[in-house]
Amino acid sequence: MICLITEIYRVKGWISLPDVRVDLMKYRLKMAKERLHSSKVLLDAGSYKDSIGRSYYAMF
């Protein structure tokens, strides 16, 4: 989606990118924080492998 928007801006010669990128960044950071919180809960419960997996996906 972002690539398509970027291409449209490039073709039209527009300078600034839409705020969609900022919204996407905020959404991804929110999801990462939720996953890290879940990871902490799983770690505290002794579910180490699940905690590692949740931590891993918080990075992406």
Span 6-24, pLDDT tens digits: 777 777 776 665 667 777 8
Are 24 and 6 within 8 A, CB to CB? Answer: no
In a domain, 9, yes or no: no
Task: Judge whether residue 3 has pLDDT over 80.
Answer: no
Residue 8 lies in a domain: no
The verdict on residue 41 lying in a domain is yes
Quick check: is 5 in a domain?
Answer: no
Examine residue 23 and state whether it is found in any structural domain, yes or no.
yes
1 in a structural domain: no
Task: Count structural domains, the chain.
Answer: 1
Whether 45 is covered by a domain: the verdict is yes
Look at residue 60 in the predicted model and tell me its pLDDT. 76
Domain hosting residue 59, numbered range: 19-60
